[in-house]
Amino acid sequence: MAVLVVAETDGANLPRGTLATITAALAIDPEVDVLVLDEQVDDASEAASGIVGVRSVIKASGPGLAGNLAENLAPAVVETAKDYGYVLAPAGTWGKNLMPRVAAMLDVQQISDITGIVDGDTFIRPIYAGNALATVRSRDPVKVITVRGTAFAVAEAPGGSATITDGPEVAAHDIARFVKRELSQSDRPELAAARIVISGGRGMGSGENFQLLDQLADKLGAAVGASRAAVDAGYVPNDFQVGQTGKVVAPELYIAVGISGAIQHLAGMKDSKVIVAINKDQEAPIFQVADYGLVGDLFKIVPEIADAL
Amino acid sequence: MKILVAVKRVIDYNVRIRVLPDGSGVETDNVKMSMNPFDEIAVEEAIRLKEAGTASEVVAVSIGPARSQETIRTALAFGCDRGIHVQTEQPPEPLAVAKLLAGVVAAEEPGLVILGKQAIDDDSNQTGQMLAALLGWPQGTFASELVIGDGVFDVTREIDGGLETISINAPAIVTTDLRLNEPRYPSLPGIMKAKSKPIEAKTPADYSVDVAPRLETVTVAEPPPRPPGRMLESAAELVQILREEKGVL
């Protein structure tokens, strides 16, 4: 059964999560089509057609594309989905907002945030903040699935040569209107895509002290994240948050600074390849998942690391 | 305006989860249960709207086994006016919960339904969006700010790259993110008063909803453990290992 990937795009930029979702789609079935619903649908479709393995790109059109509202996009996905056995999207906030609306319209029970594929009906997904892995089998005729981006390799692009076909007309319903988007400005890589992530916790003591991590991040080309405790304390905005209720990351190197290691934080980073923890409390639970630990004053150790680079 | 809030009874977020040896699920016997933290935020938001005079009545609904009533009592102690308990043997899946909630909405006709964005047990993050779809209502998911206007709600949403604001028509669905508010602790008078507030008992049959699961849980397993780590003496040693042994710098 062919797979429809509902692509999160940003103009001609295809986020890591979308590329990973295409890898997951190809693991289910070789016939993979990509539905593009971006405001800049021409650029986004062009970019999607270059992904290796994609059969065709379905380009939506219409006034409903503006603003990225689930109320407008979901009917277009449902209309396109009728020819497919699977509908997949990346499990970022974009896909989490849109796909359950699609699933309910199709009367199917969505499978959220899969990290593994057993067979065409059976998938693995983390539950309880990743403290358990559930293997679930779906009985629905169409499987609506969101995919955890860090659990699958990135599909290759460019290099593909998918055809671009015209897809659904997206109407604008007046029940919801886009007002504004305020994206955090940063020259650093995105948290979800970064090769190295440095996160600070309550031990940072203040928002100003995060500059210490910024300096190290600049040296390493790393992204800066935070624990929920640091977000709750108001040190940094919520889009820094790594954890069960924030972003899930799995970089090659994760450096946890002044983070005790609450279960909910570990859920967001414990699949990182190498984990380093710096904490003054040697009993902190973060050391149980760390590959390397340094016990001591982070205000001394972090500059020492920067100097040693 | 009447507000409906949905609350779920889950294993307390501080409890360390234990996977059952037979792989059928996680240990729930003699484990501390609490209201899903995101649902506490939903209840708090509704109560604040009532205190501000915006909401006339706040109704808390929970779907699940008999003891979900305790979670409704907690919501009543926060200040909700009354409760509705739709009893099911097993905790139903999000689609079934959304269908049951759609039935409750049809009976209660609220102007706003507030739910947590996800429950911390199955981490699905689906019910609010599904309910919105079934009702044909707009959805303000992952809300960090909610402003009530004249027939419209302005919702600031937490999205991956920052924040987004949308304006949605009433009636609508809002799901809560962490920064929407900081829930209070129920007061002693609140807890006393909650004991005499009514909880209506319902069943899925009352709403003609089939709650049979669509997903079969084949197995629940522990995640693979990480190999034990090493404590290092100095930053220099760390940098050397990361650079030379691990090649990640």
Which pLDDT score is estimated for B225?
85
pLDDT for position A248: 86
H/E segment holding residue A230: helix A228-232
**What type of residue sits at position A79?**
E
Q: Does A13 touch chain B (CB under 8 A)?
A: no
Over the Cα atoms of chain A, what is R_g?
20
Beta pairing class for A132-138 and B215-221: antiparallel
**Who wins on pLDDT, B249 or B198?**
B198
Task: Report the residue of chain A nearest B116, measured CA to CA.
Answer: A245
In percent, the amount of chain B with pLDDT more than 90 equals: 91
From the number of C-beta atoms within 10 Å of its C-beta (0-12, 13-18, 19+), residue A50 rates as middle
Write the single-letter amino acid at A132.
Answer: A
Q: How far is CA B102 from CA A104, B88, B97, B135, B156, in A?
A: 12, 16, 8, 7, 24
Single pTM value for the model:
0.93
pLDDT of residue B120: 94
d(CA B61, CA B4): 7
Q: Tell me which chain B residue has its CA closest to the CA of residue A112.
A: B124
Return the residue matching tokens 């339904």: B113
Q: Give one DSSP letter per residue of B14-71, joined into a string.
A: TSPP-B-TTSS-B--TT--EEE-HHHHHHHHHHHHHHHTTS-SEEEEEEEESTTHHHH
Chain B residues touching residue A282 (CB < 8 angstroms): 231
Question: Cis peptide leading into A141, omega within 30 of 0?
Answer: no
Q: Which residues pair with A279 in a beta bridge?
A: A295
A175–B164 CB contact, under 8 Å: no
Asked if the Cβ–Cβ distance from B215 to A111 is below 8 Å, we say yes
ipTM: 0.95
Top residue of B14, B27, B145, B242 to mutate, by most chain A CBs within 10 Å, is B242
Q: Do B238 and A182 touch (CB under 8 A)?
A: no
Any CB–CB contact under 8 A between A109 and chain B? Answer: yes
Q: Residue A40 burial (CB < 10 Å; 0-12/13-18/19+)?
A: middle
Taking an 8 Å cut-off on Cβ atoms, the answer to whether B162 and A183 are in contact is: yes
Alpha carbon of B42: minimum distance to chain A alpha carbons (Å): 15
Statement: residue B127 has pLDDT above 90? yes
Cβ proximity of B239 and A306 under 8 Å: no
pLDDT given at position B65 = 95
Tokens representing A297 are 């004053």
Tokens representing residue A76 in the block: 């277009």
pLDDT confidence of residue B41: 97
Q: What is the pLDDT of residue B153?
A: 98
Find chain B residues with C-beta within 8 A of A134's C-beta.
122, 217, 219-220
The CA distance from B61 to the nearest CA of chain A, in Å, is 20
B140 in Cβ contact with B153 (< 8 Å): yes
Cis peptide preceding A158, ω within 30 of 0: yes
| Interchain pair A129, B118: CB under 8 A | no
A60: left (phi over 0), alpha (psi -120 to 50) or beta: beta
Helices (H), B109-144: 127-135
Contact B61, B201 (CB under 8 A): no
Q: Write the Ramachandran bin of A96: left for phi over 0, alpha for psi from -120 to 50, otherwise beta.
A: alpha
Is pLDDT at B226 greater than 90 in this prediction?
A: no
Is residue B107 predicted with pLDDT exceeding 90?
Answer: yes
Closest CA to A20 of A112, A149, A114: A149
Query: Does the beta-carbon distance from B165 to A181 stay under 8 Å?
Result: yes
Residues of A in contact with B222 (CB under 8 A): 132-133
So what's the pLDDT on residue B179? Answer: 86
Sequence letter at residue B72: I
A257: region left, alpha or beta (phi > 0 left; psi from -120 to 50 alpha): beta
| Mean pLDDT (chain B, rounded) | 96
The residue among B145, B187, B185 whose CA lies nearest residue B163 is B145
* Residue B225 vs residues A54, A196, A290, B24, B134: alpha-carbon distances, Å: 35, 22, 11, 20, 41
> Shortest Cα distance from B203 to chain A (angstroms)?
21
The single-letter code of the amino acid at A269 is: M
Give CA separation, A116 vs A98, A126, B130, B189, B223, in Å: 21, 10, 24, 49, 12
Rounded mean pLDDT for each run of 10 residues along chain A, 309 residues in total:
96 92 98 96 95 97 95 98 97 97 98 98 95 96 96 93 96 95 84 91 97 95 95 91 88 97 91 96 95 97 95
Q: Is A43 exposed, middle or buried (0-12, 13-18, 19+ CB in 10 A)?
A: middle
Our CA-based measurement puts residue B196 at a distance from the nearest CA of chain A, in whole angstroms, of 34
Identify the sign of the CA torsion A199, A203, A206, A210.
negative
Q: What is the pLDDT of residue B31?
A: 96
Q: Which residue has the tokens 């269908």?
A: B99
